[in-house]
């Protein structure tokens, strides 16, 4: 936190001011706490997945997904989240989360269109899991979440990298261009990491080139955590889950926000556009032992393009 009067850092304040949302941001900021309420603890204990964002040893930001049976996430106390899982060896955050790390996390309930974020400091628990000391805890609205329910996949194998490279392959660009959901990790000026959710109609994420991804930013809670971080530090990591196979596409690079009217042209609902220059890609097979039901798209989704 940057002062006793606001939970926001200067990058977030700059974006809020440019968007004309300072008053709304101040209202939303009242929801940011430092403890895990009992209702949040129950929510976490019911989840099957947790998205985690962090920086690797080279300083690159990644977002990945941890999975377990209900109960693998537990609020040990009001300031501590335990996670009975760690990334597999081929995951770009495996080495990072084997030691102390700043992390941003988001727990998503697609079936109930609920989500909550918990950011803080992670350490291995000595039993193959993590202990996260919470610095920020807050819930977000249900907008742009596609309704899905998890299905088990008894034959799932061990998570493993099936493709790596500096840019997106043709198949990976197609997967990105048909996605309706992704997660993004960014970093604040003090090194704290945030993980957030983005959703829209299939096609809202554009894979214009092998080294370029682009998406519209829709109206939200006006906190601008992601864009505020990008205002000061362009590093970002994206996680694109494959809801049908249990695979995942992990992308890292540098992002910038384009506020211009030409950038928004043809993108209904776009208030601004973010463009990510891709610097590395890891595609994981069997990233989770789950698949999901067909989506019921959020009624808040604008059309992807005109």
CA 75 to CA 52: how far, in whole Å?
Answer: 16
| Token digits of residue 129 | 């899991």
Q: Where are the domains of the chain?
A: 10-292
Burial (CB count <10 Å: 0-12, 13-18, 19+), residue 78: middle
Q: Which of 187, 148, 167 is nearest to 282 (CA)?
A: 167
Phi, psi (5° rounding) for residue 230? -65, -25
Selected from 3.30.365.10, 2.30.110.10, 3.20.20.80, 3.40.50.720, the CATH number assigned to the domain covering 10-292 reads 2.30.110.10
Question: Average pLDDT of each block of 10 consecutive residues along the chain (306 residues)?
Answer: 73 96 94 95 97 98 97 97 97 98 98 97 97 95 95 89 98 97 97 97 96 97 96 98 97 98 95 98 97 97 84
pTM above 0.85, yes or no: yes
pLDDT score, position 14: 97
- Give the model confidence (pLDDT) of 238-263 as tens digits: 999 999 999 999 999 999 999 999 99
CA 242 to CA 67: how far, in whole Å?
Answer: 14
pLDDT score, position 1: 40
Under 8 Å CB-to-CB from 271, ≥6 apart: which residues? 19, 216, 217, 218, 219, 264
pLDDT score, position 256: 98
């Amino acid at each position: 936190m940057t002062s006793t009067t606001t939970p926001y850092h200067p990058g977030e304040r700059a974006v809020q001011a440019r968007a004309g949302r300072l008053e709304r941001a101040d209202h939303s900021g009242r929801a940011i706490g430092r403890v895990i309420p009992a209702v949040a603890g129950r929510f976490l204990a019911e989840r099957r997945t947790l998205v985690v964002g962090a920086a690797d040893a080279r300083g690159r930001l990644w977002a990945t997904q941890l999975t377990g049976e209900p109960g693998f996430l537990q609020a040990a106390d009001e300031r501590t989240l335990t996670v009975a899982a760690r990334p597999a060896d081929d995951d770009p955050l495996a080495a990072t989360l084997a030691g102390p790390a700043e992390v941003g996390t988001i727990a998503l309930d697609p079936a109930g269109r609920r989500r909550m974020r918990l950011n803080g400091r992670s350490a291995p628990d000595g039993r193959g899991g993590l202990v996260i000391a919470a610095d920020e805890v807050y819930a977000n609205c249900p907008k742009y979440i596609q309704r899905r329910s998890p299905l088990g996949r008894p034959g799932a194998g061990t998570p493993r990298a099936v493709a790596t490279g500096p840019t997106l392959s043709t198949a990976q660009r197609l997967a990105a261009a048909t996605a309706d959901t992704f997660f993004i990790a960014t970093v604040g000026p003090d090194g704290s990491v945030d993980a957030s959710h983005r959703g829209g109609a299939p096609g809202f994420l554009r894979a214009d080139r092998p080294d370029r991804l682009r998406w519209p930013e829709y109206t939200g809670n006006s906190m601008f955590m992601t864009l505020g971080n990008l205002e000061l530090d362009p590093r970002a990591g994206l996680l694109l889950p494959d809801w049908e196979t249990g695979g995942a596409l992990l992308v890292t690079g540098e992002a910038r926000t384009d506020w211009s009217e030409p950038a928004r042209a043809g993108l209904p609902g776009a208030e601004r556009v973010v463009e990510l220059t891709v610097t590395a890609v890891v595609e994981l097979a069997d990233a989770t032992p789950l698949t999901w039901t067909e989506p019921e798209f959020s009624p808040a989704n604008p059309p992807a393009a005109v």
